[in-house]
C-alpha cells in the first residue's frame, strides 16, 4: 500500500463529506436561484454550508462568499480592491499593497499584476513576519496588507494580532490566506479583527474546486465577475451546490475534530522529528517556530529534494519537495530563500504533511526507507552523484 504524506497539497475526500455531496450530484435537481421547492432545497444546502464554514473561520454566515478555491479567493480580494475591478466599480480602488515574501503564488502573482506599487514584508530566519518588518514597509497610501496565517511549506504560524492592530491603527485593510491553517489551528476572523480571509475545501478533506473568501462588510470590495446576483453579486454564476455542501460538512468536521486531529498529527510530527535527528546532516526548517501540528519540512545535506522525493516515490511514499522547476532548472523555494536558507540546503527540502489517516507505522516506514536510501547513496558515489 502506498503511503500518502502530502496532505498540505490536498487531502483525501472524507466519506461523510462524499455522502453529503452525492444526493446533490445524483438525484436532487433545481437551481438555487429558483423560487420553487426544488430551488429552495438547493438554497437551504448552501445556507447551511455558509453557517458551517463561518463557524470554522470564527465569522458570521453573511460574511462568507463561496468561490472555486483558495486561488480564486486570493485573486478576488486583491483584484476586487484594485483599480482593475472594472469601469463599473463604485468603490475607491487601492493602489498600493504590502504582502509578506512567503505568500503563496496566488497572492504574490496577482499582487504583482494588479497594483502600481507592491511592498514586500520580510520574514526572520524562523519565517515570522514581525511588527517591525511590517511597519517598515507601510506608507500613507498603503491600502491593504496580506499575511498568510500559516505557511504551506514550513508550517510556520504567524502571530497575526499585533500585525492586524498595526494595520487597523493606520486604517489599512488586513487579509490573511488561511488555506493551510484551516482545520489545523483555530481561526478567529471576528475576534482578531481580520478584514478578509481565504479558505479552501480540499485542504480539509472536502472537494477540490470550492473555497471561500470571508469578508467584513466594511471592506469596499468590487465584484470581479459579472452576471447573476449569486453570492450578493460578488461572485456571479450558478453555485456548485454539491461542492459547497461538501465544503460545509468538511468545515463542520474540521471544527468538531480540531483537537483530535491536532493531537494525532502532532504525535506523528514528534515521532518523525525524533527519527530525523538520528540521521546525520539533517536540518529541520523553522524548528524553533510555532508550526502547524501536521507539517515537518527538512533537508538532508547532499541530497537534492526532488531526487529524494523520486526515490521515496519508488518505494511508494509520497512527500513534497519545496523547490519549483522553472525553465528546466530547479529553483529553491521562495519561502526558504526569504528565510535566508542557503540555496544548497533549500534545494534539499522535503516536506512531510500528515493527515488524519496517517499512522505511526507509516512514520516508522518513512524513517526506515529514508535510512535505506541515505545509506545506499552514501555508500555509492555514483548514486550519490545522481541524487545531487
Please identify every residue annotated as catalytic. Answer: 325
Q: How far apart are CB 180 and ligand PLP at their closest, in Å?
A: 5
Is 175 a binding residue for ligand PLP by CB under 6 A? The answer is no
**200 counts as binding ligand PLP under rule CB under 6 A:** yes
CA 252, CA 250: separation in Å to the nearest integer?
A: 5
User: Can you tell me which of 11, 142, 152, 294 binds ligand PLP, judged by CB under 6 A?
Assistant: 152
Element (H, E) at 213: strand 211-215
| Cα gap 219→142, rounded to integer Å | 15
CB nearer to ligand PLP: give 104 or 184: 104
179 binds ligand PLP (CB under 6 A): yes
At residue 245, the 3 state secondary structure works out as: helix
Binding-site size for ligand PLP (CB under 6 A) equals 13
Binder among 71, 158, 294, 297 for ligand PLP (CB under 6 A)? 71
Question: Which DSSP letter does residue 70 get?
Answer: H
> Among 7, 142, 180, 333, which residue sits at the site for ligand PLP (rule: CB under 6 A)?
180
52 scored as a contact of ligand PLP (CB under 6 A) = no
Q: Which stretch binds ligand PLP (CB under 6 A): 55-63, 173-181, 282-290, 348-356?
A: 173-181
The count of other CB atoms within 10 Å of the CB of residue 111 is 21
- φ, ψ at 54 (rounded to 5°): -60, -40
Distances in Å between the Cα of 214 and the Cα atoms of 189, 250, 306, 331 are: 8, 17, 36, 33
Of 221, 168, 160, the C-alpha closest to 188 is 160
For residues 253 and 16, the answer to whether their CB atoms sit within 8 Å is yes
Instruction: State the minimum distance, in angstroms, from the CB of residue 382 to ligand PLP.
Output: 36
Asked if residue 106 binds ligand PLP (CB under 6 A), the reply is yes
Residue 353 binds ligand PLP, judged by CB under 6 A: no
Comparing every residue's Cβ against ligand PLP, the nearest one is 70
Nearer to ligand PLP, 80 or 211 (CB): 211
Q: Does 104 participate in binding ligand PLP (rule CB under 6 A)?
A: yes
Q: Which is nearer to ligand PLP, 68 or 142 (CB)?
A: 68
Judged by beta carbon, residue 7 or residue 377, the one nearer ligand PLP is: 7
Please, which residue, 109 or 315, has the CB nearer to ligand PLP? Answer: 109
CA neighbor of 239 nearest in space, from 101, 39, 79, 22: 39
177: contact with ligand PLP by CB under 6 A: yes
- Whether 18 contacts 247, CB under 8 Å: no
Buried b (16+ CB within 10 A) or exposed e, 334-364: bbbbbbebeeebbbbbbbbbbbbebeeebbe
Give me the residues that bind ligand PLP (CB under 6 A), please: 69-71, 104, 106, 148, 152, 177, 179-180, 200, 202, 211
Amino acid at each position: 500500500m502506498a503511503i500518502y504524506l502530502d496532505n498540505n497539497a490536498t487531502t483525501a475526500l472524507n466519506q461523510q463529506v462524499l455522502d453529503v455531496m452525492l444526493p446533490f450530484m445524483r438525484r436532487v435537481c433545481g437551481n438555487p436561484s429558483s423560487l420553487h421547492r426544488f430551488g429552495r432545497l438547493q438554497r437551504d444546502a448552501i445556507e447551511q454550508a455558509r453557517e458551517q464554514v463561518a463557524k470554522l473561520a470564527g465569522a458570521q454566515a453573511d460574511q462568507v462568499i463561496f468561490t472555486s478555491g483558495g486561488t480564486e479567493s486570493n485573486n478576488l480580494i486583491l483584484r476586487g480592491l484594485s483599480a482593475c475591478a472594472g469601469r463599473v466599480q463604485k468603490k475607491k480602488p487601492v493602489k498600493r499593497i504590502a504582502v509578506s515574501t512567503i505568500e503563496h503564488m496566488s497572492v504574490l502573482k496577482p499582487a504583482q499584476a494588479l497594483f502600481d506599487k507592491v511592498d514586500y514584508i520580510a520574514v526572520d530566519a524562523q519565517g515570522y513576519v514581525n511588527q517591525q518588518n511590517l511597519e517598515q514597509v507601510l506608507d500613507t497610501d498603503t491600502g491593504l496588507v496580506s499575511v498568510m496565517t500559516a505557511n504551506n511549506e514550513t508550517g510556520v504560524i504567524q502571530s497575526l494580532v499585533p500585525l492586524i492592530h498595526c494595520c487597523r491603527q493606520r486604517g489599512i485593510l488586513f487579509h490573511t490566506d488561511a488555506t493551510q491553517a484551516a482545520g489545523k489551528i483555530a481561526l478567529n476572523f471576528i475576534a482578531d479583527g481580520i478584514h478578509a480571509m481565504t479558505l479552501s475545501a480540499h485542504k480539509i478533506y472536502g472537494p477540490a474546486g470550492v473555497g471561500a473568501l470571508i469578508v467584513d462588510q466594511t471592506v469596499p470590495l468590487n465584484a470581479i465577475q459579472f452576471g447573476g446576483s449569486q453570492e450578493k453579486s460578488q461572485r456571479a454564476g450558478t453555485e456548485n451546490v454539491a461542492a459547497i455542501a461538501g465544503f460545509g460538512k468538511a468545515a463542520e468536521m474540521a471544527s468538531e475534530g480540531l483537537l483530535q486531529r491536532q493531537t494525532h498529527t502532532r504525535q506523528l510530527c514528534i515521532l518523525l522529528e525524533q527519527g530525523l535527528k538520528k540521521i546525520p546532516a539533517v536540518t529541520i526548517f523553522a524548528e524553533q517556530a510555532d508550526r502547524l501540528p501536521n507539517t515537518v519540512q527538512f533537508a538532508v545535506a547532499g541530497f537534492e529534494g526532488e531526487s529524494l522525493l523520486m526515490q521515496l516515490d519508488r518505494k511508494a511514499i509520497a512527500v513534497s519537495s519545496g523547490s519549483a522547476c522553472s525553465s528546466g532548472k530547479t529553483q529553491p523555494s521562495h519561502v526558504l530563500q526569504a528565510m535566508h536558507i542557503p540555496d544548497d540546503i533549500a534545494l534539499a527540502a522535503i516536506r512531510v504533511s500528515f493527515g488524519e489517516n496517517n499512522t505511526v507505522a507509516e512514520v516508522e516506514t518513512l524513517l526506515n526507507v529514508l535510512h535505506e536510501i541515505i545509506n545506499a547513496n552514501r555508500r555509492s558515489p555514483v548514486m550519490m552523484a545522481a541524487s545531487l
